[in-house]
Each structure stands twice: as structure tokens, then as C-alpha cells.
Amino acid sequence: MNRARLGPLALALLLCPLCSISTAQAGGGPLGIDYRVTYDNSGIWNRTNQQIVLYGMMGTVGLGALWEGGAETFINKGTNGRWRDLLTAADCRAYEAKARAELGEACARWLETGELS
């Protein structure tokens, strides 16, 4: 090994243990910049406010799952016919008569067919 290189290498090996001596200590870390944080239960750190954010986020995600797929899944068009066995012919006639009486002919037709004309 070259003697010119041995000097800086030896110096680095001697200084290496000195660099690892300083460790952080509570209240008096390196350069004395460590300090203890005091308890704060005001503003956004208040536990009640944290719970409002947590449960609000969980509710938003849960309600967002209901809307997954958009209007096609949220608003059921009733085109699969599962409702047919639940209503009798008399129930259907009573519903159609009530819709025409309350909404008028044009709105009742729109409600039944989904068409405006």
C-alpha cells in the first residue's frame, strides 16, 4: 500500500469512533436542542375533534361505497321484474290511478315509461 494514502486512511479510522459518541438524550440531546413536548388538549389535538374526523371519514367512505357504480346501481330501474310477484293487479291499478290524480297525465306517463313525450 502507498504511504501517501495511509495517512488519510489512518486519520479517518481514528476519528470514526469520535463521530459516533454523541447520541440523543431526552432533554439534552445534541447541541441541547431536544425538549419535552407538553400535553396539549386544545384545538385540533382535542380527542373529541380527532374522533369527529375519524368517524366522519369512516362514514364518508361507507356512504361512498353505496354510490359505487354511479346512478346505475344506486337508482334501481326495476327492469328485472322482481317486483311483479309483490303487487297484485289491483295494487298496480290503484297506484296508476293515484299517480294520474296527483301528478297529472304527462308526469304519470313519464313516471311509468321514463319518456317525456
pLDDT at 53: 93
Query: Do 94 and 113 share a domain, yes or no?
Result: yes
Query: Do 95 and 70 share a domain, yes or no?
Result: no
Look at residue 103 and tell me if it is in a domain: yes
**pTM for this prediction:** 0.33
Residue that the C-alpha cell 388538549 belongs to: 41
Look at residue 12 and tell me if it is in a domain: no
24 pLDDT more than 50: no
Query: Do 93 and 62 share a domain, yes or no?
Result: no
Query: Do 85 and 117 share a domain, yes or no?
Result: yes
Dist CA 88 CA 93 (whole Å) = 9
| Radius of gyration of the CA atoms of the chain, in A | 37
Look at residue 55 and tell me if it is in a domain: yes
Query: Do 116 and 89 share a domain, yes or no?
Result: yes
Query: Which residues span the domain enclosing 53?
Result: 41-75
Between 65 and 109, the higher pLDDT residue: 109
Q: How confident is the model at residue 35 (pLDDT cuts 50, 70, 90)?
A: low
* Buried/exposed code over 29-44 (b: 16+ C-beta within 10 A; e: otherwise): eeeeeeeeeeeeeeee
